[in-house]
Amino acid sequence: MLALAAGIAAGAATPPARLLVHNATLITMEPSEPEPFVGYMVVGADGRISALGRGEPPAGTAAAATVDAREQVVMPGFLSGHSHLTSSVMRGINAGRELDGMIDFRPTFLDGRFYEEGDVGTFTLHGALDYLRNGITTAFNYPNRRCPPQYYNEAFRAEIASGQRFVYGYNVPDMPYEKARTDFLAFKAMTDTYRDHPSFLRLALAKNGHLGRVAGHSQFPTEVRIAKEFGLPLQVHFLESSFYQKQNRHDFQYIKDSGGLDVPLVFAHFVHADDRIIEESVKAGAVAIWNPLSNGRLASGLADIPKYLKAGLTVGMGLDGQNTADISNPFENMRMGLYNIRMKYERASVLGPRDVLHLHTLGTAQALGVADRVGSLKVGKYADFLIVDLTEPDVGPVYDLHGSLVFACSFSNIAQVYVGGETVVERGRLLKHDSVALGNDVRFRMTRNREKTTRLLSATTKP
């Protein structure tokens, strides 16, 4: 049951509250509130939670809009700690390849070097909106490697236009340090003009290529140097490839020798870590992002998450790109990860529904350094949340809410997605974007790219 009603704010001086949600079954994900409870939440005009509590709101509480969330779950929006949103146009490709085959045999028309103006922005928007529809309200986004740097601005502006909150992972170009730093400064100056924009959570660096592979390896010290100078986190693909895992573990010494452990390091994937790497990473304050759907699709392997958590490692979760986790469904991601861990250990107590919910929300916010604003429902944080309806489609009687939510729900149970207390998705439908027009634009651009690369390639192979 959902009802909207106009309300009148108390007092003319303060702007009226934006939204009141009441009768909700709240899962705040705050460590101090492990059990769900029925209560209310008030969102201020700034899009942040101004009040939250058990039972009925205090008498006189009013807002511009009121939602009766009776028998519905209100939980924080999901976060993806590792994403490549432009790959939203690459779903289903390379079905029979592992990570290295995916990288080495990507169809030419998907190569960023052949993109035209507007392509990267359009593809990023397509990816970001796919995330929002699936209840992911914050993402750490990597721009495409091998895209000309001017397209980074397009990716950034598309993120702003999407309405999703984001951490932008700047991909340091393959250039000598001075030139790379100059390019970075130009990009940073552009992003600085958005410093106060609520969607832009922070700037970070995203490792240019995979350690352990030839491409991108030598650029690592430059990335570390820039990260250090500007106090930025550096996210790197590390210990992902099964084929290169031995080489990758060896690269840990290279990371140390390059000063990598002196900056806030975020290891994306971190599938094949040994005891020494785990211990030294924890000591250095490095964190990891687990991407079970992607790791399964690419046959990369299974990260030993219980072991990492026991060692004190901060772990978040991610959907990676849509070319490796083709459906950006966090419920599927949680189940994929949880079930595989239980298969490995042959013990259910090793990881539970609430654990993976934490990893995909607050855990990811902590790993990305943005838990002061997102990741849980708490006064002062942004009101980014989902209303999950367990009756439409009906999952049956609920005995254990965390169990029903993680084991029995999916994309189709997300009734609404809110960002900053505003509805952005209603029953799977985007409210602030024309998804049909966007889809047509994407198809037009991909057809054009395909024709263009076919033409270029046939021209170069002529005698």
Contacts of 71 (CB under 8 A, 6+ apart): 1, 23, 25, 390, 391
Nearest approach, Cβ of 90 to Zn ion (angstroms)? 12
Please state the closest distance from residue 23 (CB atom) to Zn ion, in A: 41
> Closer to Zn ion at the Cβ: 266 or 362?
266
Token output for 2: 């959902």
Q: Which two tokens stand for residue 67?
A: 């939602």
Instruction: Give the C-alpha separation, 224 to 229, whole Å.
Output: 9
Residue 380 neighbours by CB under 8 Å, 6+ apart = 48, 49
The 10 Å Cβ neighbour count of residue 59 is 5
Token reading at 91: 């779903």
Backbone angles phi, psi at 435, to 5 degrees: -70, -25
Neighbouring-strand partners of residue 20:
42, 66
How would you classify the pairing of strands 49-54 and 37-43? antiparallel
Could you tell me the smallest distance in angstroms from the CB atom of residue 237 to Zn ion? 5
Tell me which amino acid residue 29 is: M
Question: Which of 274, 261, 170 has its CA nearest to residue 221?
Answer: 261
Which CB, 16 or 112, lies closer to Zn ion? Answer: 112
In the complex with Zn ion, which residue's Cβ is closer, 100 or 320?
320
Task: Report the residue number, 208 or 329, with the smaller CB distance to Zn ion.
Answer: 208
Complex with Zn ion: residue 251 or 320, whichever CB lies closer = 320
- Nearer residue to Zn ion within complex by CB, 320 or 355: 320
Q: Report the distance separating Cα 68 and Cα 88, nearest Å.
A: 35
CB of 206 to Zn ion, least distance (A): 9
Task: Tell me how far, at minimum, the Cβ of 328 lies from Zn ion, in Å.
Answer: 14
Q: Which residues of 161-200 are buried (b: 16+ CB within 10 A; e: fewer)?
A: bbbbbbbbbbbbbbeeeeebbebbeebeeebeebeeeebb
Nearest distance from C-beta of residue 83 to Zn ion, angstroms: 8
Look at strands 422-426 and 414-419 and give their pairing: antiparallel
Of 226, 309, 235, residue with least CA distance to 265: 235
Least distance to Zn ion, CB of residue 240, Å: 7
Q: Taking the complex as a whole, how short is the minimal distance between the CB of residue 168 and Zn ion, in angstroms?
A: 15
- Judged by the rule CB under 5 A, the positions of this chain that interact with Zn ion are 320
User: Distance (Å, rounded) from C-alpha 66 to C-alpha 81?
Assistant: 32
Q: Which CB atom, from 127 or from 163, has the smaller least distance to Zn ion? A: 127
Q: From the CA atom positions of the chain, what is the Rg in Å?
A: 22
For the bound state, the minimum distance from the C-beta of residue 204 to Zn ion, rounded and expressed in Å, comes to 14
Torsion sign over Cα 367, 256, 101, 150: positive
Alpha carbon distance 108, 413 (integer Å): 38
431: left (phi over 0), alpha (psi -120 to 50) or beta: alpha
Decide whether 13 or 214 has the Cβ nearer to Zn ion. Answer: 214
Q: Is the Cβ of residue 130 or residue 320 nearer to Zn ion in the bound state?
A: 320
CB of 370 to Zn ion, least distance (A): 19
Closest contact distance (angstroms) between CB of 25 and Zn ion is: 35
3-state helix, strand, coil in the chain (%, to 5): 40, 20, 40
Would you say 40 or 166 has its CB closer to Zn ion? 166
Query: Is the CB of 143 or the CB of 173 nearer to Zn ion?
Result: 143
Euclidean distance between CA atoms 254 and 249, whole angstroms = 10
